[in-house]
Structures are given as C-alpha cells and as structure tokens.
Amino acid sequence: VEGIVPDFLTLLHGVIDSPDIPLNVSRSYLQADGAVKKIASHISKKVSDKLEELFKKDRADFEAKWDDIKIFIEYGILSDEKFAERAKKFTLYKTTEGKYYTMDELTEKITPVQKDKDDKLVYLYSSDAEAQHSFVNAATTKGYEVLLMNTHLTSHLVGKLEQSMENTTWARVDADTIDKLINKDEKIPSKLDEKQQEQLKPVIEEVVEKAKFNVQFESMSETDQPMTIVQPEFMRRMKEMQAVGGGGGMAMFGGAMPDTYNLVVNTNHPLISKILNEKDKTKQSEITKRTTDLALLSQNMLKGEELTQFINQSIALI
C-alpha cells in the first residue's frame, strides 16, 4: 500500500502487527491516517537498525551481500533523509580492487593523497573497471583509490554526496586525464609551443567530427597515451541523470543532450611530434587517423566501417 511501505523497501515480505489501525477502513483512509505514516517511518528505522546490526556482527558476510542490496540502499539514501543519515553507519563503497570502505574509512584513507591544489578532496569512481581500465590504472599507479559505482542511480547519488559533503568533488576516472582530475599544480614542460599546437590542431580536426570532439593540448608524461578521449563530468552526469529521470532543465537541448567529448593531445609524446614534423601530407593524415582511432578504440567508440578499416590496416601493417 502506497504510503505504508517505503518504495525502496518493496522487496520486503512480512506482516505488520499494529493495534492502532481499525479493521474496516478504505485504502485512502489508511494513506491519510497519522498512525500509518508513523508505521512507514518505523519500518524504515527497523530496517536500518537491522542492517547496522548485521554489518557490526559479521562485516565479511555483509560485504559479500553488499553488491546485491546496494541498489536498494542507494534508493533509500536518495528518497529518505532520515534513512540516509542512519545508513552512513553501514553503507559501503567498493573499490576497483575489491576493498570495501564506509565513507568515514574512505575519507580517512584518501585524505593524505587525493587533495588538489585548492585543498579540495577528490573522490574518484569508475562505472566499468574493465572498459575504463587505462584510466583506472593511471589513477591507481599514483596511489589513488578508485570506487566502483555502477548502478542506475550512481549519478544521482554522486550529486547528493557532493551537496552534503563540504569541500569535496566527485569525478569519474574517464572524465579527464588524472592530472586534471586531481590537479596538484605540478607543471610538466611542453615539447610543443603554442604556435606548433595551432599548426597541428587543424590536422587533427580533419580526421574527427569537429561538432563532436573538442581538440585540447596538454603537457603530459611521455609514457602517457598520445591521444585520450574524455567526456566532461558535468555533461556525462547530466545525460545519465536524464536517462533515468530527474535530468532537470534539459528541455533546452530538445529533450536529449548531445554527446560531446574532449580529444586530449599529449604534447610530449614522440608520436605527436612525428605527426607535426611529417612533410608528406597524405602520410601525416594517415598517422593522425590511426592515432585517433586508437584513442576511440580505447573508449569502445570505434565501430562499424571505421573499425573494419582499422583492423584491415593493422593486418596489412603486420
């Protein structure tokens, strides 16, 4: 009955025993009755108390069950403020390495290393550790913790956490290069000056959709990828929230936000210098196309005819 059992607890089975509800009443009477509203609150509290008890009694067993129940806990956190407050004691956050932390434990763990130049604590997460492996690896190599957050409610949950936690930000690992996500203001000298970057930009724009990709140059380590495709955190999160409802004022986009990405060019990678210095325009275009194809492939964005051509060209090279 709507109004008695909270929506996020509809998976529960049981009997409510209460002497305060008269037997012969309509559903509308039940929904308007003050005692019924107290019952709904009581059910929520009883469930949170039980979950906390299970967590404290046998944490290992609770962790083993977490992946199966977390979607309901997240729904409860988003829909019931009182439940959200009580859930802080037992809500777990799983890392890509399979470790579980409460929010307090996680914050204590990452505070020494994951603060940016503005002293803001940055929480990193991944929606698919395998698909985003290169981004996850770049973060964990630096000693950062990456959470695995992969439910339909993740974007809404992340938004709520950002609002309720002071001086923090949340970012998916593929939203930008790791040095941009946690900006320590450590400058790496660039091998390409501004003039060379301006010279190279139209060469790259010729082989990608200008409306879809924004070409950016960044001074990174020589061992980082020559080109990386990222989607800005705000744009991607708004799209995901819109997909599951609650996208807010997205009508200005005609009901759907366009897919836009940043193509980040590593100015220190030898391959980028090779593209710049190549005199043969045809060969320059071929190298540029293959390099951008690799960036697309790493994000599972190379499909159809372009993927077939890439495979055939690679076979020919071998």
pLDDT in tens, 267-297: 999 999 999 999 999 999 999 999 999 999 9
Q: How far is 82 from 78, CA to CA, in rounded Å?
A: 10
Beta strands 168-172 and 121-126, pairing class: parallel
DSSP 70: H
Phi, psi at 171, each rounded to 5°: -145, 135
Q: Of 88, 29, 94, nearest to 68 (Cα)?
A: 94
Q: How far is 176 from 193, CA to CA, in rounded Å?
A: 22
Question: Residue 61's pLDDT is what?
Answer: 97
174, 132 Cβ separation under 8 angstroms = yes
Stretches in the chain below the pLDDT threshold 50:
249-254
Question: Residue 17's pLDDT is what?
Answer: 79
Q: How far is 23 from 13, CA to CA, in rounded Å?
A: 21
Q: Which amino acid belongs to residue 165?
A: M
Alpha-carbon separation of residue 313 from 77, 226, 293, 317 (angstroms): 51, 19, 11, 6
Q: How far is 191 from 184, CA to CA, in rounded Å?
A: 21
User: How many H-runs (helices) and E-runs (strands) does the chain carry?
Assistant: 13, 8
175, 232 Cβ separation under 8 angstroms = yes
Q: How far is 278 from 281, CA to CA, in rounded Å?
A: 7
Alpha-carbon separation of residue 260 from 26, 153, 232, 295 (angstroms): 52, 22, 8, 15
Q: How far is 231 from 155, CA to CA, in rounded Å?
A: 14
Residue for token digits 């709507």?
2
Question: Residue 252's pLDDT is what?
Answer: 45
pTM listed for this prediction? 0.82
Q: What letters, b where the CB count within 10 A reaches 16 and e where it falls short, cover 89-117?
A: ebbbbbbbeeebbbbeebeeebeeebbee
Question: Residue 168's pLDDT is what?
Answer: 95
Beta-bridged to residue 266, according to DSSP, are 218
Question: Residue 19's pLDDT is what?
Answer: 77
Say how far residue 301 (Cα) sits from the centre of its chain. Answer: 18
